[in-house]
Structure 1
Amino acid sequence: MIKTIIFDFGDVFINLDKVGALEQALVNFKLDSLPEDLVHVNSLYEMGLMETSEFMEFYESAFPDVTSEKILEIWNSILKDFPHHRLEFLKALSDSKKYKLILLSNTNDLHIEFVKTYVPFFNEFKSYFDVFYLSHEINLRKPNADIFEFVLNENNLIASETLFVDDLAENTAAAEQLGIHTWNINPETEDVTTLFETKKELFS
Structure 2
Amino acid sequence: MIKNIIFDFGDVFINLDKQATYRELAKLGLHEVDESMLEQYYAYETGKITTEAFVGHFHKTYGFSKEDLVRAWNAILLDFPKHRLQFLKELSAGAEYRLFLLSNTNELHIDWIKNDWGMELYEEFKSCFEQFYLSHEIHFRKPNSDIYQFVLEENNLLAEETFFIDDTLENTEAAEQLGIRSWNIDPEKEDVVNLAEKLGI
TM-score tier, shorter chain, comes to over 0.9
Aligned residue in 1 for 2:45: 46
Give yes or no for contact 1:13–1:82 (8 Å, CA) kept in 2.
yes
User: Which 4+ runs in 1 deviate beyond 6 A?
Assistant: none
1:21 shift after superposition:
2.1
Summarize deviations over 1:37-71 as a string: whole Å, max 9, x none. 0011000000000011111110101121x211111
Aligned residue in 2 for 1:102: 100
Summarize deviations over 1:120-157 as a string: whole Å, max 9, x none. 31110000000110000000000000000000000110
Give yes or no for contact 1:6–1:104 (8 Å, CA) kept in 2.
yes
SS in 1 for 2:78: coil
Letter in 1 for 2:41: N
1:26 shift after superposition:
2.8
| 1:11-160 equivalences in 2 (<5 Å) | 11-31=11-31, 33-64=32-63, 66-120=64-118, 121-160=121-160
SS in 1 for 2:148: helix
Q: Percent identity?
A: 52
1:30 shift after superposition:
2.8
Summarize deviations over 1:130-185 as a string: whole Å, max 9, x none. 01100000000000000000000001100010000000001000000000000000
What count of residue pairs does the alignment treat as equivalent?
199
Give yes or no for contact 2:185–2:191 (8 Å, CA) kept in 1.
yes
TM-score normalised per structure 1 = 0.95
Partner Cα distance (1:143, 1:160) in 2: 18
| 1:156-171 equivalences in 2 (<5 Å) | 156-171=156-171
Give yes or no for contact 2:20–2:72 (8 Å, CA) kept in 1.
no
Partner Cα distance (2:181, 2:44) in 1: 29
Give yes or no for contact 1:26–1:34 (8 Å, CA) kept in 2.
no
TM-score normalised per structure 2 = 0.97
CA RMSD of aligned residues (A): 0.9
1:86 shift after superposition:
0.3
Structure 1 residue ranges without an equivalent (≥5): none
Partner Cα distance (1:109, 1:20) in 2: 18
